[in-house]
């Protein structure tokens, strides 16, 4: 992976190189196409592999053979554009760079998948590819895949588009780096785009914005220690778009420096799993806008899921659940949300469209620190508690739900507990917690009555601390046996 300073130097070198390439090629015919003709692969700068002279700064290099092959580079190279219309092509850049210098900002420098009904794949290894912008899955009915791997770099001055009108897949892996001004995934309503950013040291940078599902369907996965940084972020921008983002695994992170919308006017979901982190340095809205001209009224549907010990959503501004549209957030199995501003609940919609809060508990060790914390206000939420993976809390278990400078009272939908176990809610001006108490603590098996199985459990704990230490002496002994026998029979209602 390249660092920021190296990135700037590469950009500068590419700009100078582009000017030199344009100057040196002015004597050649402009606007021409060159087709790769060697199905077995070969060297880029060997004219025998082309249907004419080797491509230069005025030439579009076209790869449309329905074969799998590798193009090797013995030196840095320049072309006007590259089109991958068919087949499976690998660029082994050999430590060099390949610069695509078409000056028209509305014309993509790289197109992978520019032919309907064809499958095209490009893999970039061992070097740097410079472009104005890149389209993957350019036309309706096309399928394009672009892989950047093994420490390689894809540097775009403007857009990286994954799934423009067709289907596109972009995978960045093994310590590689990609940069663009704007990255869009799933652009037109006919498009499906998927981006996978995976592996320790792998980084995607979208300087201005990262949009997952503009009008189409888009998915972004950040996995296994990879990182993504973007200026702003939208998941599910336009009405009927469907966007999803997954950040999973220790070290995997997405940092958003500006406003962050999950379900702006479309459908958007953000899942933070298994120790992944999302850091929002501004405000976050979950379910942002409605489209009132629609009948019935339609609009944004946003959902955030934070699941697993170490999974974290950190918001440096305010967090809005259901800003003007429908929003829901689920925290489960130790996943946490920390907010440096306030946490607001929208109240524009009625009934089952009201904002929802779900907290899933899978272990007695979950939420010994609050699931939701804020340095400001946490407004009141209707909160459903779910028990995950068959977990049943025991007598004395407690769970911290929220903590802030000021917390409005929550209302709870609590699951039934077995036997004499009941929930107890503790709320004050700064915190909310739940605990489990036993109305009949001698009912060790939570059967609803004190009987033989409880007696056997007491003997199994004899001589040590345990749940059968009714007198809290620190050890189960004769006195606890007498207490159990004194409460033999059905527990009181």
Question: For residue 255, what are the domain limits?
Answer: 4-438
**Inside any domain, residue 443:** no
**β-sheet bridge partners, residue 438:** 421
**Inside any domain, residue 230:** yes
| 188 and 317 assigned to the same domain | yes
Least confident span in 21-25, 326-330, 439-443: 21-25
- Whole-number Å distance between alpha carbons of 199 and 443: 50
| 355 and 453 assigned to the same domain | no
**Secondary structure element (H or E) that encloses residue 374, with its range:** strand 372-374
| 366 and 474 assigned to the same domain | no
| 289 and 403 assigned to the same domain | yes
For residues 241 and 217, is the Cβ–Cβ distance under 8 A?
A: yes
**Inside any domain, residue 444:** no
Residue 289's pLDDT band (cuts 50, 70, 90)? confident
**Inside any domain, residue 94:** yes
pLDDT recorded at residue 296: 54
| 424 and 456 assigned to the same domain | no
Q: How are the residues of the chain apportioned to helix, strand and coil, as percentages rounded to the nearest 5?
A: 10, 45, 45
Residue 228's pLDDT band (cuts 50, 70, 90)? very high
| 8 and 157 assigned to the same domain | yes
Placement of tokens 């850091």 in the chain: 279
| 44 and 130 assigned to the same domain | yes
**Inside any domain, residue 305:** yes
Residue 293's pLDDT band (cuts 50, 70, 90)? low
Domain final residue pick, 413, 438, 463? 438
pLDDT recorded at residue 23: 35
Residues 6+ apart with CB under 8 A from 267: 213, 236, 241, 242, 243, 300, 301, 302
Residues 6+ apart with CB under 8 A from 302: 235, 236, 261, 262, 263, 267, 268, 269, 285, 286, 287, 288, 322, 325, 326, 327, 328
For residues 115 and 90, is the Cβ–Cβ distance under 8 A?
A: no
Mean pLDDT rounded to a whole number for the chain: 91
pLDDT recorded at residue 103: 86
CA 230-231-236 angle, to 5 degrees, is 75
pLDDT recorded at residue 31: 58
**Inside any domain, residue 29:** yes
pLDDT recorded at residue 282: 97
Least confident span in 10-24, 46-60, 154-168, 310-324: 10-24
| 347 and 457 assigned to the same domain | no
295-319 pLDDT, tens digit each: 555 778 999 999 999 999 999 999 9
> Which residue in 38, 36, 129 sits closest to 85, CA to CA?
36
Q: Which whole number is the average pLDDT over 32-50?
A: 97
**Inside any domain, residue 99:** yes
3-state secondary structure of 17: helix
Residue 280's pLDDT band (cuts 50, 70, 90)? very high
| 392 and 455 assigned to the same domain | no
Residue 4's pLDDT band (cuts 50, 70, 90)? very low
**Inside any domain, residue 311:** yes
Q: What percent of the chain has pLDDT over 90?
A: 81
| 429 and 466 assigned to the same domain | no
pLDDT recorded at residue 30: 41
Give Cα separations from 402 to 285, 313, 343, 359, 410 (angstroms).
Answer: 19, 14, 11, 11, 9
pLDDT recorded at residue 123: 98
| 68 and 33 assigned to the same domain | yes
User: How many structural domains compose the chain?
Assistant: 2
| 349 and 464 assigned to the same domain | no
Q: Which whole number is the average pLDDT over 452-480?
A: 95
pLDDT at 441 over 50: yes
**C-alpha count within 13 angstroms, C-beta hemisphere, residue 13:** 15
């Amino acid at each position: 992976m390249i660092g920021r300073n190296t990135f700037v130097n590469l950009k500068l070198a590419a700009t100078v190189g582009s000017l030199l390439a344009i100057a040196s090629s002015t004597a050649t015919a402009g606007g021409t196409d060159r087709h790769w003709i060697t199905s077995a692969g070969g060297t880029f700068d060997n004219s025998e592999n082309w249907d004419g002279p080797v491509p230069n700064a005025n030439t579009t290099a076209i790869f449309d053979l329905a074969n799998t092959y590798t193009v090797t580079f013995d030196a840095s190279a320049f072309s006007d554009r590259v089109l991958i219309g068919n087949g499976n092509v690998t660029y082994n850049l050999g430590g060099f760079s390949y610069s695509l210098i078409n000056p028209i900002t509305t014309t993509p420098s790289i197109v992978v998948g520019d032919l309907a009904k064809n499958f095209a794949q490009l893999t970039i290894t061992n070097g740097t590819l410079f472009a104005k912008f890149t389209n993957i899955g350019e036309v309706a009915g096309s399928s394009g895949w672009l892989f950047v791997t093994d420490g390689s770099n894809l540097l775009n001055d403007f857009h990286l588009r994954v799934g423009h009108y067709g289907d596109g897949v972009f995978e960045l892996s093994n310590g590689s780096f990609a940069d663009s001004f704007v990255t869009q995934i799933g652009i037109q309503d006919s498009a499906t785009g998927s981006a996978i950013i995976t592996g320790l040291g792998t980084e995607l940078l979208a300087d201005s914005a990262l949009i997952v599902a503009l009008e189409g369907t888009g998915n972004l996965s950040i996995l296994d220690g990879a990182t993504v940084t973007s200026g702003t972020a939208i998941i599910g921008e336009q009405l009927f778009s469907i966007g999803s983002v997954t950040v999973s695994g220790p070290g995997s992170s997405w940092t958003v420096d500006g406003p962050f919308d999950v379900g702006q006017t479309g459908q958007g979901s953000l899942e933070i799993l298994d120790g992944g982190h999302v850091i929002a340095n501004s405000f976050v809205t979950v379910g942002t806008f409605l489209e009132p001209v629609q009948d019935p009224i339609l609009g944004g549907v946003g959902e955030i899921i934070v699941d697993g010990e170490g999974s974290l959503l950190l918001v440096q501004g305010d967090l809005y659940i259901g800003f003007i549209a429908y929003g829901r957030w689920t925290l489960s199995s130790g996943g946490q949300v920390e907010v440096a501003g306030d946490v607001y609940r929208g109240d524009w919609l009625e009934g089952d469209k009201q904002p929802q809060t779900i907290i899933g508990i899978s272990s007695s060790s979950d939420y010994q620190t609050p699931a939701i914390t804020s340095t400001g206000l946490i407004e009141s939420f209707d909160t459903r508690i779910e028990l995950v993976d068959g977990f049943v809390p025991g007598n004395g278990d407690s769970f911290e739900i929220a903590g802030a400078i000021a917390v409005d009272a929550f209302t709870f939908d609590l699951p039934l507990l077995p036997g004499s176990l009941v929930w107890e809610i503790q709320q004050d001006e700064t915190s909310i917690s739940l605990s489990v108490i036993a109305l009949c603590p001698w009912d060790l098996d939570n059967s609803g009555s004190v009987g033989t199985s409880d007696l056997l459990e007491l003997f199994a704990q004899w001589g040590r601390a345990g749940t059968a230490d009714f007198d809290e002496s620190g050890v189960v002994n004769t006195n606890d046996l007498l207490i159990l026998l004194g409460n033999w029979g059905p527990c009181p209602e």
